[in-house]
Homo-oligomer: A and B are copies of this chain.
Amino acid sequence: MKVRTRLTHCAVEAAMQVVTGKWKVHILWALSPRPRRFGELRRLLPGVSEKVLIDQLRELMTDEIVHRDSQPGPVPHVEYSLTARGAALNEALRPLGAWGREHL
Contact = CB atoms under 8 A, between A and B. Distances in A.
Contacts of A96: 11-12, 15-16, 92-93, 96
A88 B100 CA distance: 10
A25 B100 CA distance: 16
A75 interface: no
Given A9-B28, A11-B97, A16-B16, 16 more contacts: A1-B29, A11-B98, A11-B101, A12-B19, A12-B25, A13-B25, A14-B100, A14-B104, A15-B104, A16-B19, A18-B104, A20-B20, A89-B99, A92-B99, A93-B96, A96-B96
Interface of A: 1, 5-16, 18-20, 25-26, 28-30, 32-33, 44, 85, 88-89, 91-104
